[in-house]
Amino acid sequence: MKRFCLIMALALLLCQVLAPSAAAAAKQRCFSHENSAIVNCISGAFKTYWEANGGLPIFGYPISKVTTEKSATGEIQVQWFERARLEQHPESQPPYNVQLTLLGEKLLAGRGRDWRASSLGQATTGCRLFVETGHTLCEPFLSYYRSHGLQFDKQATTFSEPESLALFGLPLTEPALEPAADGQVYLTQWFQRARFELHPQNPPATRVLLGLLGMKRTVLLRSIPARRLNPARARQAATTFRRLRTRSCPALA
C-alpha cells in the first residue's frame, strides 16, 4: 500500500512538472519539422500577428528569438524574421500592439541611398502615384500591393489601401533592376517596410516575391554602425540632384 501511494505521489508530481511545459509548447509555433534549419519559434502576440497577416510568404521564418532592444520610446520586445522585424507595443490596442519596423527605409539609408534624391515617377494610366513620396506603383507590383495587407476589418479576401499601406508602407523608389539574395538580377521596387521583386520564371501566383530584408538587415547591423539620416542634408541633396539634372537634361526637369 505504501509503495502504491508513493508511485501515485510521484506520478502526480511528474504531471505538475510537465503540464506547464506542455501548455507552453501548445502556445508556440515551431518550424523545425518543415525546415530543420529553423530553430526559433513564435508565440504570443508575434504568433498571432504572423498567422493573421500573411505568415510565411509575407514575413518568412523567424531567424531570432524574442529580444529586448532600445527604441526612441524606451525598451521594446522584437523578433527578426527573414523578411521583417516585428516590434511589440503592449501599450497600444490591436492591431497596433505589434508593428513592423521600416526595414526598407532603414536598409536604403544604411547603404547610403537617399530615396528623397532618387528620380521621381510620373502619373501614368494604370499606375498609382503616391504624392507623399512622388513615386508610382505599376503592374505587376500594383496588383500584389492591393491584394495584401494587415487585417483591420477581418475581411481576409480583400484589402483597403490603408491595410496595404500598413503592411508595406509607401514606395520609396521607382522599379529598377537590382541583384537579389540569390545573386540574380530582378526588377525591384523599395517600400518603407518591404522590397518587391519580380521573378518572371515563377508561376503567376509567385512571380512577385518579397525580398529577404530581415536577413540583410542583420548582416548590415553586424558589419557597420547604425547611421541616422539627417533630414536637412537629405533635402539639400534632393535639391542639388534636381538642379544638376535640370542643367544636364532640361527635358527631364
Contact 58, 145 (CB under 8 A): no
Identify whether residues 51 and 38 lie together within a single domain: yes
Model confidence pLDDT, tens digit, residues 162-198: 999 999 999 999 999 999 988 899 999 999 999 999 9
Contact 89, 76 (CB under 8 A): yes
Q: What was the pLDDT predicted at 157?
A: 74
Model confidence pLDDT, tens digit, residues 93-111: 888 899 999 999 999 998 8
Non-local (6+) Cβ contacts of 68 within 8 A are 75, 76, 77, 78
Q: What was the pLDDT predicted at 218?
A: 52
Identify whether residues 145 and 181 lie together within a single domain: yes
pLDDT lower than 50: segments of the chain: 4-15, 17-25, 222-253
Identify whether residues 68 and 183 lie together within a single domain: no
Identify whether residues 50 and 86 lie together within a single domain: yes
Model pTM greater than 0.85? Answer: no
47, 69, 101 — which closes off a domain?
A: 101
Identify whether residues 112 and 203 lie together within a single domain: yes
Domain limits for position 82: 33-101
- Tell me which residue of 249, 219, 238, 251 sits closest to 119, measured CA to CA: 238
Overall number of domains in the chain: 2
Q: What was the pLDDT predicted at 153?
A: 77
Q: Which residue has the cell 538642379?
A: 243
Identify whether residues 89 and 126 lie together within a single domain: no
Q: What was the pLDDT predicted at 12?
A: 46
Identify whether residues 114 and 214 lie together within a single domain: yes
Identify whether residues 88 and 131 lie together within a single domain: no
Pairing of strands 67-71, 41-43: unpaired
